[in-house]
Each structure stands twice: as structure tokens, then as C-alpha cells.
Amino acid sequence: MNKTLIIAFVSILAISAFGFISLKENSHNVRAQQDALTLFKQFKMKYNKRYADPDFESYRFGVFSENLEVIKTDSTFGITQFMDLTSAEFSEQYLTLKVNKNQDNSKIYKPKDDVEIKEIDFTTLGKVTPVKDQGRCGSCYAFSTTGAIESALLISGVGEANTLSLSEQEIVDCVKEPEYNQLGGCQDGYMDESFKYIIKNKISKAADYPYTAVEGKCKDTSSFEKYAISSYVDVPSGDCKALLTALQDHPVSVAIDAKNLQYYTSGVYSNCSDNLTHAVLLVGYSSSALKLKNSWGTQFGENGYFRLAVGNTCGVCNAASFPVL
């Protein structure tokens, strides 16, 4: 009898303990859900998010909640304007770069051996134009192209950093097959093909050919004021020393793996592969980091910029080029 009572008593304790643990877990889950909902409300307000209906908003909240777990995995991650997108959606909308790895050997950069690689930041020198926003168009290649040319013009004494702005839309509309080796538009593109177009046709100011974030018909620009380049140069693929040597003279268009930049807020980023999916502009170097200008608006990262660990982080040394005026 005593043995039976003891067994019953132990069973009751076990059930009670299990119930307490379950209650504690449920309470924790409820608090986590409430915290996520509070963060989601703040996110919507900060980034002016609007959804078509309650069901769609509920779905986006689910995606946001899943991404809250992702950003715990890296110290450079945080809540960004892309937190309501799945990784697949983000890639489809923003990571459409198509790199042509067949470099023209007549345009390969050959740095001098005696160049001292010093720390440099062209933003502090006033030789970088303001950060722009490509919107939901896969036109990063166009922004990298115009950014490089804008900086080259500023360095040569042409224009002012706060007013000089070249037309990304002209590149989006006009640099495409069959004449150029890319689909162009918001689907895919590459800086070298854009440079080829500008060598032949020059490029308009953004004020004359404004950005719309959608692919349009190539306009007649013969009446517009235009800017010219004479050629472009490819940095040897994988040669990080050559890239930093080129950077001593001017910013450089580069391609990187940007998959996890969806979550980047600040710091020196290195959580990436060398699968090149996005075009940006390399504008600075220090012993601790590379500084790059993005085209996702000033709310992204560090006022529109981000930093990479020095070296071939995210494949930054693998597909770099720059214009020659």
C-alpha cells in the first residue's frame, strides 16, 4: 500500500512539473510573440510599410518573425527595411547581377610595383556623390557604373558632389541585347557592358533622363548634355593588391555576394561567399575594413554604406573595373 502511494505521489509530482514547464514555455512563447509584434509595429512605422490586407500583413509578420531569429546569428545584423522579405524574395528583387568573367585582355589593369597602398576614403575627400536608391529594380550595375563615373569626374574637377548625378535610367533602358551581352533593364546587367555603351553614346544627366525603377524604351538623348568616357579597365580577377592600388586613384566598381546584406546594419561584415550577385562602389580602404557605397538608400547600413573585412571578402576582388575619362 505504501509503495502504491509513493508511486502515485511521484506521478503527481511529475505531472505537476511537466505542467509547470509547459506553462513556463507557453508564457515565454507569448512574450516572444508580443515582443515580435511590438518590433513589427516599429518596423512598419520606421519604413512606412503598408500591406494590401490583414492576411497579407499577417504573412509578412510571420516572415519578419523568422528573420528576427536570423539576425541573432551575426553582430553586424539588425532590423532593416528588408525584414519582411524572405531570402528568396530579396534575391529575386535585388540580387540580379550577371557577371561576365571573360575579361578583355587589352583592358586589364597593370599596376605599378612601387605604388604604396595607403588608407583612403573618397567620401571624406568630397569625391563621392550622394547615396541613391535603386528601388525594386535589379539595376545595381547601373548605379555602380554611374557612381564610378561621377567620382572620376569629381576627381578631374568636373561638377560638385552634391549636384552631379548621371542617369541610371538611360543604362537600364538602353544597355541590352542584341548589341550588349546582357538582358539589361531590371533583369540583369554588368558594369563593363554599361561602360561600353557610354564609350559609344556618352551618358545623360539624371535630371534629363530621370530614374523610374522600371525598364522603359530607350529614349533619344541627342539633345541632352552628356558626359563621356574614353575607355574602361578591368582589375585582374582575384588580385586584391591590384584592386587596392587602383583605389589609390579613384573609386572602383565591384561585384560582391550580397545575400546576407539583407540584414546588415553596421560593422565590418564578412558573412558571405564569393557568389557574385550585386554591384556596388568601392570608395575607401583602411587597415580594418573596405568601405563601399550601396544603392539601397540612406536607411541601409551606415548611411547607405557598408564595410567589408579586408581581403577578398564576398568576392570583392573578383570582378572589379573602372572608367577612364
Query: Number of H helices and number of E strands within the chain?
Result: 7, 10
* DSSP secondary structure letter of residue 163: T
**Contact in structure between 235 and 248 (CB atoms under 8 Å):** no
The beta strands (E) that lie in the chain are given as: 120-121, 203-204, 226-227, 231-234, 252-256, 268-269, 278-285, 290-293, 305-308, 321-324
Q: Render pLDDT for 161-206 as a digit per residue (tens, 0 to 9).
A: 999 999 999 999 999 888 888 888 998 899 999 999 999 999 999 9
Task: Using the Cα atoms of residue 54, residue 60, residue 63 and residue 69 in order, give the sign of their dihedral.
Answer: negative
The beta strands (E) that lie in 235-287 are given as: 252-256, 268-269, 278-285
Q: Render pLDDT for 293-303 as a digit per residue (tens, 0 to 9).
A: 999 999 999 99
Burial class (CB in 10 A: 0-12, 13-18, 19+), 53: exposed
Low-confidence ranges of the chain (pLDDT < 50): 9-10, 13, 21-25, 27-28
Q: Could you say which of 67, 137, 140, 218 is catalytic?
A: 140
Other CB atoms within 10 Å distance of the CB of residue 99: 19
Q: Could you say which of 67, 294, 314, 318 is catalytic?
A: 294
**Contact in structure between 149 and 127 (CB atoms under 8 Å):** no
> Which of 103-137 are b and which e, b meaning 16 or more Cβ less than 10 Å from the residue's Cβ?
beeeeebebeeeeeeeebebbeeebbbebbbbbeb
- Report the pLDDT value the prediction gives residue 10, as an integer from 0 to 100: 47
250 is catalytic: no
- Report the pLDDT value the prediction gives residue 23, as an integer from 0 to 100: 45
278 is catalytic: yes
C-alpha cell at 30: 507569448
Angle made by CA atoms 195, 197, 202, in degrees to the nearest 5: 90
Burial class (CB in 10 A: 0-12, 13-18, 19+), 172: buried
Q: Could you say which of 174, 186, 260, 278 is catalytic?
A: 278
Q: CATH for 92-324?
A: 3.90.70.10
User: Residue ranges of the domains in the chain?
Assistant: 2-76, 92-324
Other CB atoms within 10 Å distance of the CB of residue 302: 15
Task: Using the Cα atoms of residue 251, residue 273, residue 196 and residue 90 in order, give the sign of their dihedral.
Answer: negative
303 is catalytic: no
What are the distances in angstroms from CA 140 to CA 58, 80, 144, 145, 295? 30, 18, 6, 9, 7
pTM of the model: 0.89
How many angstroms separate the CA atoms of 292 and 143, rounded? 13
